[in-house]
Amino acid sequence: MSRNQTLLQEDQDLIDGITNGSTESLRIVYKEHFPLVAQYIIKNSGSEEDAKDVFQEAIIVLYDKINKGDFILSSRLQTYIYSVSRFIWLKKLNSNNPLTVAMHQELEETLAVEDDLQESNTKEMQFHLMEESLNLLGEPCQTIIKDFYIHDLSMQEICEKFGYTNANNAKTQKYKCLQRLKKLYFSY
């Protein structure tokens, strides 16, 4: 398991804990993620008390989303909590005073970062899905598919490389491999 996967698993364990009402999980979330949120709020005209309120609200948002069953961990939990906290804080500032141009810009950037994160996570998921599908496809299919669709080898070149008696046999093999790959990739 990669380091990234380990971290995501740890986050998932915390979410499972929160789902099951574990106060220990909430304590860990607070201990690990509050300092970053507090640092941001204090740096942006807030106090430690403000930071506690905002963090509490962010945890409630997370808790509600988990309980509704529509929370999918698509990024690190820290990124999620930090983004929600920033959003809540900017909204609070807005309710007291009109947003400054800089704050508007920051709010937009926060939302844009969320979009970017979402897109990046989708791409990452698709990459792993393709990798897994190609691995399950095995040889010689994996190489035939890569040679034809990625490295742009002709069917004649593939025929010679794999020792098929003629290009038609190679085409039939490539077709069968392709159908298997489609089944693997699109069935997830």
Partner 1 sequence: MKNNFDFIERADLYIKDELNAEDKLIFEKYCDENPHAAEEYKQHRLLFQKLREYQLRKNL
Residues that bind partner 1 (CB under 8 A): 123, 126-127, 130-131, 134, 145-146, 148-150, 152, 171-172, 175, 178, 181-182, 185-186
What are the tokens at 106? 């920051």
137: number of Cβ within 10 Å:
21
- 18 or 137: CB nearest partner 1: 137
Identify which of residues 26 and 129 has a Cβ nearer to partner 1 in the complex: 129
Nearer to partner 1, 104 or 146 (CB): 146
**Would you say 107 or 155 has its CB closer to partner 1?**
155
Calpha distance 71→62 (Å, rounded): 8
Supply the minimum distance, in Å, between the C-beta of residue 163 and partner 1.
Answer: 21
- Closest to partner 1 by CB, 80 or 148: 148
Question: Three-class SS string for the chain?
Answer: CCHHHHHHHHHHHHHHHHHCCCHHHHHHHHHHHHHHHHHHHHHCCCCHHHHHHHHHHHHHHHHHHHHHCCCCCCCCHHHHHHHHHHHHHHHHHHHHCCCCHHHHHHHHHHHHHHHHHHHHHHHHHHHHHHHHHHHHHCCCHHHHHHHHHHCCCCHHHHHHHHCCCCHHHHHHHHHHHHHHHHHHHHCC
Q: What is the nearest approach in angstroms of partner 1 to the Cβ of residue 172?
A: 8
CB of 12 to partner 1, least distance (A): 23
Query: Min. distance of Cβ 83 from partner 1 in angstroms?
Result: 24
Q: Rounded to 5 degrees, what angle do the CA atoms 127, 132, 136 make? A: 150
Minimum distance from CB of 74 to partner 1 (Å)?
Answer: 17
Complex with partner 1: residue 162 or 185, whichever CB lies closer: 185
CB of 2 to partner 1, least distance (A): 14
